[in-house]
Chain A
Amino acid sequence: AQKITQTQPGMFVQEKEAVTLDCTYDTSDQSYGLFWYKQPSSGEMIFLIYQGSYDEQNATEGRYSLNFQKARKSANLVISASQLGDSAMYFCAMREGIFTSGTYKYIFGTGTRLKVLA
């Protein structure tokens, strides 16, 4: 079973509008972390936002916010006021396991390609 599921292979959004990228996850751990990364065509992985499983407030970083619904096991990324430079691949990832053990790992989804239209 997929541990991280991103159901939208591609998305379009008009410049200046908001867009939501979906992510659901599956874990039996009580303590885990959820991440979103941006990967432009140049290839580098850029960290956007983090949500810890015990964090009660949704994480926000500038124009990025993470809509964390723990009971539904979803961690959607919301980008407000889209810009042309937001066009990229976006990956949702989960960190699970114990730091000092061999179970500690990050698992990535298959990504959503976002295209911002002028």
Chain B
Amino acid sequence: GAGVSQSPRYKVAKRGQDVALRCDPISGHVSLFWYQQALGQGPEFLTYFQNEAQLDKSGLPSDRFFAERPEGSVSTLKIQRTQQEDSAVYLCASVGIREDEQFFGPGTRLTVL
């Protein structure tokens, strides 16, 4: 596809459930970022991949959060034992050779009940 896609677009989980959020970056894009955006706030950095290597995971809020990009393309953000404070929009973005633009996906809105 032409842009970054994310699935599902909306996810409702009961507290304690595990969830997996998928990101399909633009083909050939080396860099992939995950962000968490709470209501009315700016995106907060979670983690960064360059190809399959996770170079920075300092933004992951707890060890319940885990991200992977095993083949350097599709990435999955997994949240174990979800809590209400995990409710947010999770944005994925990819960057190509040109560093002057970061392409965002539409986001996944996660609601934890």
Which residue numbers of A lie inside 8 Å of B, CB to CB?
Answer: 4, 33, 35, 37, 43-45, 47, 50, 52, 91, 93, 95, 99-111
B42 and A104 contacting across the interface, CB-CB below 8 Å: no
B42 and A110 contacting across the interface, CB-CB below 8 Å: yes
CB distance from A35 to the nearest CB of B (A): 7
Show 27 residue pairs from A and B whose CB-CB distance is below 8 angstroms, ordered by the A residue.
A33-B99, A37-B104, A43-B89, A44-B107, A45-B104, A47-B102, A47-B103, A50-B100, A50-B101, A52-B100, A95-B99, A95-B102, A99-B31, A100-B55, A101-B55, A102-B48, A102-B55, A102-B56, A102-B58, A105-B33, A106-B102, A107-B45, A108-B35, A108-B44, A110-B41, A110-B42, A111-B41
Chain B residues with CB under 8 Å of A45's CB are 43, 91, 93, 104
B contacts with A, residue count (CB < 8 A): 26
CB distance from B3 to the nearest CB of A (A): 10
A100 and B50 contacting across the interface, CB-CB below 8 Å: yes
